[in-house]
Amino acid sequence: MAKRIVLMERPPINTCTGCRSCELACSFRHERAFNPEKSRIRVIRTEYGISYPVVCHQCSRPPCVEACPVRAITKNPESGLVYIDESLCIGCGLCIEKCPFGAITLHADKKVAIKCDLCDGDPGCVKSCPERVLALADVNIVAQRTRAAWVKFRG
């Protein structure tokens, strides 16, 4: 199954609250420092208290892979992971421009593109999310859960 970081929330109670624990966990896992600017997951807070974690969806047809002029980004056909090889990346930022979600960032010091690599299957963001709304799951599992909730709600 191709897994990715998913948000499973039911506002207004069960929701991302914008605490940004995920950003801190992510930066610590990858950088051994707390720095939201170096996090692969970013919580965006807009008006009316809405917060939403933006992270790579590990697209089936990733525009970043197509955009990369040096083939530093590859998609693993088995695990589904879209991976940036930092040693190949030239930091041109074309992938950043092409990502429809803003899920890729240029690393402030290393000047290479960084994005979610699913932490080898044990993501720090999922571990640290106090609201338990982040999960590592196949997107179809999310659909299944939503279906179940909907049918339960329908009664």
**Binding site residues, other proteins, CB under 8 A:** 11-13, 15, 17-21, 24-25, 28-29, 31-38, 48-51, 108, 124, 127-128, 130-131
Distance CA 10, CA 28 (A): 28
Residue 123 CB, nearest approach to other proteins (Å): 13
User: 14 vs 140, which CB is nearer to other proteins?
Assistant: 14
User: 15 vs 74, which CB is nearer to other proteins?
Assistant: 15
The token pair that represents 46 in the structure block: 């807009």
Long-range contacts formed by 146-153: CB under 8 A, 24+ apart: 149/10
User: 13 vs 151, which CB is nearer to other proteins?
Assistant: 13
Residue 135 CB, nearest approach to other proteins (Å): 16
Residue 16 CB, nearest approach to other proteins (Å): 9
Three-state secondary structure call for residue 59: coil
Q: What is the DSSP letter of 37?
A: G
User: 39 vs 58, which CB is nearer to other proteins?
Assistant: 39
Rg (CA), the chain: 16
Residue 55 CB, nearest approach to other proteins (Å): 17
In degrees and rounded to multiples of 5, residue 51 shows phi and psi of: -125, 145
Element (H, E) at 76: none
